[in-house]
Amino acid sequence: MTGKAKKLRRLIKSIWVFNWFNSCGFTELVPVVGSRWDMERFGMVVTGTPRHADVLFIAGYQTHKSIRRAKIIFEQMAEPKVVIGLGACSMTGGMYWDSYNTIKRLEDYLPVNMYVPGCPPRPEAVFEACEKIFQHVLEMKDE
C-alpha cells in the first residue's frame, strides 16, 4: 500500500468501494451490502464512480475483454487505492482454470493488495480482509 500513514488513517474511517464483478461475483457479494451483514456499519459505501472510490473489489473470472476495462477503472481511482480480489476465480482461475479466454491470476494485470479465497467468500471473510487492511494502516509508522 502506498501513501502517507496519516492520510490513510483518515481514509479508513469511511471506505468507499467500487465493485467490478463478473459472472456470479455480484450475487455472491450482495449479502455484504444487504441488511444482515451490512457493510455500512463499518463505514463502507458503494460508489457509482471509480473516481470517488478508495477500494476496488474484483470478483468472478475476468475475461481478456473485461480486464482491460478493469485496468481503466483502476487508473481512474485516486491515490491511495486498494485492490481486493474476491473468490477462487481471481486467484487461480477457479473452475475456469482451462478456459481459453479468462485470465488466471489477477496479480499479473493489477496490483492486488489482498485475495479473499472461497467460492464464494463468506461475508465474514470479506470483512476480515477489510479489518486486516484497517489494522495494517493503524500499525503503519509515521515517516
Instruction: Pick the piece of the chain touching other proteins (CB under 8 A) from 42-50, 54-62, 94-102, 132-140.
Output: 94-102
Q: How far apart, in whole angstroms, are the C-alpha atoms of residue 78 and residue 54?
A: 7
Instruction: Pick the piece of the chain touching other proteins (CB under 8 A) from 51-59, 95-103, 116-124, 132-140.
Output: 95-103
CB closer to other proteins out of 66 and 130: 66
Residue in 41, 40, 74 with CA at minimum distance from that of residue 55:
74
Is there binding between residue 36 and other proteins (CB under 8 A)?
no
Distances (CA, A) of 60 to 22, 80, 114, 132: 5, 24, 15, 22
Q: Is the dihedral of CA 9, 14, 20, 23 positive or negative?
A: positive
Instruction: Outline where DSSP puts E strands in 24-113.
Output: 45-46, 55-59, 82-86
Is there binding between residue 107 and other proteins (CB under 8 A)?
no
Is there binding between residue 9 and other proteins (CB under 8 A)?
no
CB closer to other proteins out of 10 and 68: 68
- Interface residue list for other proteins (CB under 8 A): 63-65, 68, 93, 97-101, 104
